[in-house]
Structure 1
Amino acid sequence: MAIFPAHSRDLPDPEATEALGRKLAALARPGDVVLLEGPIGAGKSCLARAFIRARLGDQEEVPSPTFTLVQVYNDRGTEIWHADLYRLTHPDEVWELGLDQAFETSICLVEWPDRLGRHLPPGALTIRLNSMGEGRQAVIAGGRPGLAQALADG
């Protein structure tokens, strides 16, 4: 298994988290899986919402998929899957959601990826949001070559 260097970026406020989401949206392509890690309130949904709105427009309604588990959006023929796996009780439930196929053909934003267990897709980009005083720090690793570095660079 390859070890990828981690890069970090300070996010002093919600606007900085949104800016990271918009930057990711500009760089993402089908087959990219983004694993959003961090405790409740870390900014995972904020980042995902900014990503989706950057791709689809600021007026796009982006509800949290906490209860539906997955929301799917269409961006000019590319599906964007936003999954919140907090309520999954077993990793094999990922097959019922269809995420395994989405990982190959869509852009996937996955909150609470630890719920995937052994189904973590190889080559996924991981963004871990950590509390840091009043703001956050994003620790970014994996993904396509150069992607983590590009996101860490302000």
Structure 2
Amino acid sequence: MKTVLSSTPEETIQIAKEYAKTVNPGDVICLEGNLGAGKTQFVRGFVQGLGLAGDVVSSPTFTIINEYDGELPVYHFDCYRLEHVEEAVEIGSEEYLYGDGVCLIEWPDRISELLPPSSKHVTFSIIGKTEREIIFH
């Protein structure tokens, strides 16, 4: 387990760029934290760390999954609006979760029974107006 503090969205992006260097094809990374805690900023930095422009990232709240093709495919899930795990199954999420890309999942508790046991977790906590605590476990 590793804990880091971020004072700005730019720092969160930089932390994520560094973290992206540590992932492998097939990794599933669960991003946990309240609305506004920095999860989407983290995804922006993560895809930049894999050679993409961060401005391609938007929260996939209405599409559920956004795909980013870089050095390694990144699949960005936002499960916030899912009411039943079956909805994730219907859109083919298991193909992504057990594929060769990297999955970043916001609100992973909504699909917890689909997640591989080897999933990694990153927890975001708001500790000030722009300050965030980010825990990697």
Unaligned runs of at least 5 residues, structure 2? none
Is the counterpart of residue 137 in structure 1 residue 130 in structure 2? no
SS in 1 for 2:104: strand
State which of 106, 110, 115 in structure 2 corresponds to 1:115: 110
Q: 1:63: Cα distance to partner?
A: 2.2
Is the counterpart of residue 92 in structure 1 residue 89 in structure 2? no
SS in 2 for 1:41: coil
Query: Could you tell me which residue of structure 2 aligns to residue 102 of structure 1?
Result: 96
Query: Could you tell me which residue of structure 1 aligns to residue 76 of structure 2?
Result: 82
Q: 1:46-74 CA deviation, whole Å, 9 max, x = no partner?
A: 00011112323336522221111101122
In 2, Cα distance between equivalents of 1:12 and 1:111: 21
Aligned CA distance change for structure 1 residues 119 and 59 (closer, same or farther; 3 Å): closer
In 2, Cα distance between equivalents of 1:103 and 1:25: 17
Q: 1:97: Cα distance to partner?
A: 2.5
**Aligned Cα RMSD in Å?**
1.6
Q: Which runs of 4+ in 1 moved over 3 A?
A: none
Aligned CA distance change for structure 1 residues 117 and 12 (closer, same or farther; 3 Å): same
Mapped contact 1:10–1:137 kept (Cα < 8 A):
yes
In 2, Cα distance between equivalents of 1:62 and 1:117: 24
Q: 1:13: Cα distance to partner?
A: 1.7
Query: Could you tell me which residue of structure 1 aligns to residue 63 of structure 2?
Result: 68
Q: 1:19: Cα distance to partner?
A: 1.1
In 1, Cα distance between equivalents of 2:105 and 2:28: 8
Unaligned runs of at least 5 residues, structure 1? 1-5, 142-154
Aligned CA distance change for structure 1 residues 59 and 129 (closer, same or farther; 3 Å): closer
Q: When the two structures are aligned, how many residues end up with a matched partner?
A: 135
In 1, Cα distance between equivalents of 2:17 and 2:29: 13
Q: 1:124: Cα distance to partner?
A: 0.8
Q: 1:36: Cα distance to partner?
A: 0.4
In 2, Cα distance between equivalents of 1:127 and 1:117: 15
In 1, Cα distance between equivalents of 2:54 and 2:63: 21
